[in-house]
A and B are shown apart, each in its own frame.
Chain A
Amino acid sequence: MKTAYRLNRRRAMLVAATMLTALGLGGGDAAMAADQPLVIARAFDFNSLDPARGWCDSCQIYLTNVYETLVGLDADNKTLKPRLALSWEANAEQTQYTFKLDPDAVFSDGSPVEAKDVKWSWERLHNVKGGPSFMMDGVKSIEAADAHTLVVTMDAPNSEFLGILTAPYTGVINSDVAMANGASANEDADKTDTAEGWFLANSAGSGPYMLAGYKPDDELRFTANPHFKRSKVGISDVVMKHTKDAVAQAQMLENGSADVAMQIDPDTAKRLPADKVTTDVVASYNFIYVALSPGAKGNKVPLSKDVREAIAMALDYDGIIEFTVGGAGNPQAAPIPNGFPGTADLPMPKQDLAKAKELMAKAGQAGGFEIDAIFPNMNVYGVDLSLMMQKVQQDLAQISVKANLQPVEFSVWRTHISGDGIPLTAVFYAPDYYGSAQYVQYFAMSEGSPWWKRAGGANDSSITNTKEGELLTQALASPESAKEGIYHQIAMEMIGDKIILPVVSPNLVLAHGKSIGGVRYSACCNLPIDEITRQ
């Protein structure tokens, strides 16, 4: 009995010693070798890795780096640059585009990128009817004139088509490989394409990286595409690590277990040690807005133009920016992001309580009213919408408007907004590509636009603004040089609608380890990983 006890004790001590040794082994913190994988800490929002079905910020990063588009966006976030297309030209009417593809471009399996692949990828993008399928709306035909020449004909003039092509969802897929794995570009692709599962474990692009592995809610691994020759890839292996919490992302940067994070809020960023982490705060193209729906069934009083203007003037825009992101953001005049075509010299919104009260009195609402405010309960781009709406509630109280705040899940909000409508709400928008037409199509009070419907245009025709649609048609038929002025006019019209009230464009914190360089924010593509280097 005693012998057994001694043996057990010895065994226990051995196990303990092994455990301690093991723990000690794991604690080593060697200097980061130059060939170590790059680690990007990020809260994943992936909903697919299929270019025709993915629709999210993380998807933009993945697709940009794996599937090349024909056209890219330069570091100034304005200038188009060649990617798979070496050159392109549009006819005078902006209805036909001809692209000359790079004859040296190859997919990750070494096979050449040809016009047939582009045609197939874009037809599939449209026919699968996924999140980004609208990008091919208005495309009448796509023809491969020869192996490296592509001709795209539009139903109507569309000067924004080149901008759309910077969106990573338009990336080109190796059609032979994808078809062999269940993909289809046929008209019934929404029913017959079975490749989405295959895309979760494989990639078939010509971009700087290939998919090396993906575990939902855990990690996504890239490895350099050996056939990619357009530029030199900075770091050959990259791991995107799902890190939901901004504070955890900051801690990973601080202890060196992550190299890059771009979802850290400005307050947390201020506490990062400057000797270990570099933080660049840059203006983003994302924005948060308050929206009014005069046609919503829940309105207790008519949201006339005067009332809407009074509400717009009651908001303390500077205070909201200070309250939500500690001042790390910018006001925005119209529902087109600062820096996009047509936004130069727009009048920024200002609080004017005296004028707001005057307008309320003019509308017969001097005594105020109650308004239901249903909004998604989420923190987006560093802005907690619940906090922001509390500030909006305080501001509106100053003109005797009582906002009844009701935070809900996004999917529930979506049901409300497309059902009876929501009198007052708050939500966000991030660009899909560089170009202003997307905002006009979405936010303008043109009959049939998403926000015309949500604002209750069918119930309240007074909000319809036909001029915006006419100007958009002009802009889409205009060459680059003439677009700026037309979009400026549209922006002024949208400001006058007083339906969409942008309140803050939050800055973006690009945080990275000291040895990391080349981190930048792209309007179309979020984070071009191939440009990142380790010194």
Chain B
Amino acid sequence: MKRYILRRLVAMPLLVLGIVTVAFFISHATQGDPLVSILGDRQMDNPEVVAAARARWGLDRSLPVQYFVYVRNLVTGDLGISIRTKQPVTTDLMARLPATLELVIAAMLVGSAVGIALGVLAARFRDRPFDHLSRLFALVGSSLPVFWSGLILLYIFSVKVDWIPGPGRLDARTTPPETVTGFFTIDSLLAGDLGTFAEALHHLALPALVLGWAVMGIISRMVRASMLDVLSQDYVLAARARGARELRVLFHHALRNALIPTLTIIGFSFAYLITGAVLTETIFSWPGIGSYAVNAARNLDYPAIMGVTIIGGLAFLITNLVTDIAYAVADPRIDMQ
């Protein structure tokens, strides 16, 4: 397995280079001028100002030269300066990645735990009321647009019943904890500040539920389908015949074998949400990678677009690798050669 992992890790830089090359030329081929977002409409008619800005941002060079400069800097870990935020893209990404990871991990925990439980029980109680209810719950979760469910739930739980605070990672009046990991929940605990920890959890709860609900639907349906296959296998019958308790049959014997396709879905969803949780981030004013990506695209902020693309690419590559390893853990018969 070590050799397999090593081989995959060695291939990653080449894959990233491929992603970078394609993304660089596609983003620069789009119509539009990124300078309008920093100079304003009026100054775009001033050739002297436009020329100065092009020179400053390296946009006066030919595209191949810009590409080679970008790749050369990338090798040293320099992702450039964002045209929009004026900060190093690495700084921007490092500031936003923990926010996104905190949200996505919480959402995946909620979505996976509830989704797997619902799927297992729906398969066990096939065609009975629980199965129908869980199908309805899954359907609603995966088909409701997140911006709608987010706004409605925010309105109900934050404005009407006042159980949940408003948007943001913390109350705007609270000073965030000193950054260690960038996860407010962890950093507040490290600082020994239980009040801020509670507030961070409180703020995390609703966006994680909204995002987790969307994932939960897919996971529960996948688990149900796999479980139905597995529950009809002889070894399940044998386990029951040996007098194993039903919960042990379901969660120990059947679920472990039904998890393989679900792991793919969980891994894919996790990687997708790293850059794809944009609607949730917008509704809940969550300063993460998704909203950064959208702002970068809208403003043709090339360095930021490239940075997000690299993060997204890496998320998929790493998640795929982890998922493959998880296959082997879940099912030792899988050969990692």
Contact = CB atoms under 8 A, between A and B. Distances in A.
Given A241-B285, A411-B33, A26 B201 contact: yes
A410 B37 CA distance: 9
Interface stretch (A190-198, A308-316, A336-344, A518-526): A190-198
Interface in A211-241: 215-219, 239, 241
Interface in A147-201: 190-191, 196-197, 200
B287 interface: yes
B234 interface: no
A255 B162 contact: yes
B173 A239 contact: yes
Interface in B63-118: 84-87, 92, 95-96
Interface string B163-207: 101111001110000000000000000000011011101110100
B86 A248 contact: no
A1 interface: no
B296 to A, nearest CB: 10
B36 A197 contact: no
A438 to B, nearest CB: 9
Nearest to A442: B42
A132 B285 CA distance: 29
B172 A239 contact: yes
B52 A257 contact: no
B198 A411 contact: no
B32 interface: yes
A217 B287 contact: yes
B291 interface: yes
B202 A23 contact: yes
Contacts of A442: 42
A427 B44 CA distance: 15
B150 to A, nearest CB: 9
A37 B199 contact: no
Contacts of A418: 44-45
B166 A130 contact: no
Interface in A1-26: 19, 21-26
Contact of B53 (A56, A129, A412): A129
A248 B167 contact: yes
Interface in B147-166: 151, 154-155, 158-159, 162-163, 165-166
Contacts of B158: 251, 255
B27 interface: no
Count class of interface residues, chain A: 35 or more
Is chain B's interface secondary structure helix, strand, loop, or mixed overall? helix
B43 A216 contact: no
B283 A245 contact: yes
Nearest to A127: B52
Contacts of B87: 197, 200, 216
Interface in A111-140: 129-134
A244 to B, nearest CB: 5
Contacts of A414: 32-33, 36, 41, 44
Nearest to B185: A22
B287 A242 contact: yes
A197 B87 CA distance: 7
Contacts of A257: 165-168, 171-172
B335 interface: no
A129 B44 CA distance: 11
Nearest to A273: B159
Nearest to A429: B41
Nearest to A46: B85
A47 B299 CA distance: 11
B84 A258 contact: no
B159 A251 contact: yes
B50 to A, nearest CB: 9
B237 interface: no
A27 B202 contact: yes
B49 interface: yes
Contacts of A255: 158-159, 162, 165-166
B208 to A, nearest CB: 13
A46 B41 CA distance: 15
A38 B163 CA distance: 23
A243 interface: yes
B282 A411 contact: no
Contacts of B43: 55, 130-131, 133-134
A280 interface: no
A251 B161 CA distance: 12
A466 to B, nearest CB: 20
B32 A412 contact: yes
Interface in B255-294: 282-285, 287, 291-292
Nearest to B166: A257
B282 A245 contact: yes
Contacts of A245: 151, 282-283
A243 B166 CA distance: 11
A3 to B, nearest CB: 19
A481 interface: no
Given A47-B38, A251-B166, 4 more contacts: A29-B162, A39-B173, A55-B43, A258-B166
What are the 7 A-B residue pairs with the smallest beta carbon separation, nearest first?
Answer: A411-B32, A26-B202, A257-B166, A22-B198, A26-B198, A218-B287, A25-B198
13 contacts: A27-B202, A29-B162, A36-B173, A37-B173, A131-B39, A218-B95, A219-B172, A244-B285, A248-B154, A248-B166, A248-B283, A252-B166, A414-B44
